[in-house]
């Protein structure tokens, strides 16, 4: 849902920066690797300590590399299977670090095994949601469904809630409840999205099998 509009907007905004990196001789793969490293460091250093505001600031700065590297590849005319594979793989690493960092917080000083479990569920369900689409496409199906909560929604909801919850350290009252709410929203939304994709793949596979059998019979 957010992918279509947010990506288009930020791609336009970040195009000049991508062009600058190209002139400086930076490769798209290097941007991908640095961006992922920054997200992982921000999540696993700040979040387990409960530093949600500064952790979110660091992560947000590096998250945009996901748009910059693709923009650079298009400007260079170097879009490749390897680049797409690397980008998709490291996206999963970054997502795991974010929810892993939150799980570590709740398993430790955050003192909530329920929310720790919810963060782990968000991590796992997000991975499976991505896998269902990739696997469906790998067996030749279009998987024509976006779903309620895709990666963009998971990141926006979680990072906004983390950042706002971090304002509690600056004396803003009541905001710490936002992160638990966000985890439940992301977890339930991911489960719904998984169901949507499974149902879609089942329908598309049945249609493809029927067409194949019809063609064989003819």
CA dihedral 129, 179, 56, 190 (to 10 degrees): 10
CA distance 66 to 198: 27
Report the residue count for the chain. Answer: 218
- Which residues have C-beta within 8 Å of that of residue 26, sequence separation ≥ 6? 72
DSSP 15: H
DSSP 149: S
Of 113, 133, 109, 124, residue with least CA distance to 198? 133
* Inter-residue contact 47 to 101 (CB < 8 Å): yes
H-assigned helices in 64-112: 65-76, 81-107
CA distance 46 to 166: 11
Q: Tell me whether residue 91 is one of the annotated catalytic residues.
A: yes
- Marked catalytic residue, from 66, 69, 91, 95: 91
Residue in the structure block whose two tokens are 């960092």: 101
Which residues have a catalytic role annotated?
91
């Amino acid at each position: 849902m957010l992918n279509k509009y947010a990506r288009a907007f930020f791609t336009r905004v970040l195009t000049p920066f991508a062009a600058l990196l190209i002139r400086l001789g930076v490769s798209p793969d290097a941007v991908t690797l640095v961006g992922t490293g920054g997200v992982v460091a921000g999540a696993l250093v700040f979040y387990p300590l409960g530093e949600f505001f500064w952790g979110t600031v660091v992560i947000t700065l590096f998250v945009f590399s996901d748009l910059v590297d693709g923009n650079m590849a298009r400007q260079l005319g170097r879009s490749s299977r390897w680049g797409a594979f690397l980008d998709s793989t490291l996206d999963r690493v970054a997502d795991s670090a974010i929810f892993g960092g939150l799980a570590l917080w709740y398993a430790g000083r955050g003192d909530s095994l329920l929310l720790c479990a919810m963060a782990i569920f968000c991590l796992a369900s997000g991975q499976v949601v991505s896998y269902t689409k990739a696997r469906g496409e790998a067996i030749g199906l279009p998987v024509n469904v976006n779903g309620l909560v895709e990666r963009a929604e998971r990141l926006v909801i979680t990072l906004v809630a983390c950042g706002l919850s971090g304002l509690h350290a600056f004396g803003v009252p009541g905001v710490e409840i936002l992160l638990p709410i966000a985890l439940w929203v992301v977890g339930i939304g991911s489960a719904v999205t998984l169901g949507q994709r499974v149902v879609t793949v089942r329908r598309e596979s049945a249609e493809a099998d029927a067409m194949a059998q019809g063609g064989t019979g003819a």
